[in-house]
Amino acid sequence: MHRGHLRAATLGLLVSILSVAGCGSGDEATESAESAPGSSGQLLAEAPAQAPQLADTAGSRTATTGARPPGVSATRPRLPGKTDAYKPVVGQAGKDVVWVPTPQPLVDKMLEMASLTRNDIHFDLGSGDGRTVITAAKRGANSTGVEYNPDMVALSKRLAQQEGVGSTAKFVEGDIFKTDFRHATVVTLFLLSDLNLKLRPTLLDMKPGTRVVSNTFTMGEWKPDQTQAVTEKDGCTAYCTAHLWIVPAKVGGKWRLPDGELQLTQTFQELTGTLGASPVQGSLRGDQITFVAGNAQYTGRVNGNTVTGRVTTGSSTRPFTATRIGS
């Protein structure tokens, strides 16, 4: 998916990882990358230590679980031909960090975890040589890469044209923190954790149900809804873990139900609170809410200041509507 930026002090360590490491856990990769001092910067990783190749090479097929979404092409990016003069080099200096690319198998895994379809609007933050955007466009999505380096932007556009997705794979030169991507339905990134944390408020303000997928690095206390890894056997030797978050609806506060007053405290997708005298435990997945109060289980959909759904008690099920009455 992404191009990757690492702190300069991390580069020597990364070269060693790419030379000898098998695919470790996300925690191991995070620890190794973030243990080095230096200024923060964008990170987006990929394995080959040469000019970017949108490769459909034998043995690099992703080992993923789950079926490909309807209408999604199985075509992988082909090896490009000559792309004029500019060829990025792993470790080259960036705005705040150095550049490292993301392995194609992990690009595929991240987009599959996001359930990307032709109906999605996709943004890749720190798009580097454009491979994630090109892969998303080949799956039919309207995809945009945001990249600070103008040479990378020009290279990405040439590669997109070569791959036949020049009209749907878009690239803009800009700062990811100053770019408006609020209308996206899927966001991919490969950034260090401190940059993820800086982006987190913007991501949490996006439409409930927006899917956010990060290579390796997490979002602090906002726990992923799903984590998967790609193995060395499937073509990934470093930075091989993908994390998925689904932006939750905002439901903290007071709600009126037929069964009494519901008070919810929200910590990202986790819920606690009370319904009358009964304690409440629950969770959110986008705009879908589930919670238990006493011996009753509530499931519903959040639509602004209203929740509609069904409550099940024993063998009995009935509809319910909750209305927000305060914060």
The C-alpha angle 28, 217, 192, rounded to 5 degrees, equals 110
pLDDT 10s digits, 138-165: 999 999 999 999 999 999 999 999 999 9
pLDDT given at position 9: 45
Angle between the N-to-C axes of helices 11-20 and 26-34, in degrees from 0 to 180, rounded to the nearest 10: 150
The sign one gets for the Cα dihedral 43, 49, 53, 56 is negative
pLDDT 10s digits, 278-326: 999 999 999 999 999 999 999 999 999 999 999 999 999 999 999 999 8
234: left (phi over 0), alpha (psi -120 to 50) or beta: alpha
- Flag whether pLDDT at 10 surpasses 70: no
The overall pTM is greater than 0.75: yes
pLDDT given at position 251: 98
Cα 191 to Cα 168: distance, rounded to the nearest angstrom: 24
Contact 62, 112 (CB under 8 A): yes
- Flag whether pLDDT at 33 surpasses 60: no
Q: How many CB atoms lie within 10 A of CB 147?
A: 30
Confidence band for 95, pLDDT divided at 50, 70 and 90: confident
Q: In 3-state terms, the chain is what percent helix, strand and coil (to 5)?
A: 20, 30, 45
Cα 242 to Cα 109: distance, rounded to the nearest angstrom: 7
Mean pLDDT of 91-119: 87
DSSP 72-128: -----PPPP----S----TT-B-SSSEEEEPPHHHHHHHHHHTT--TT-EEEEES-T
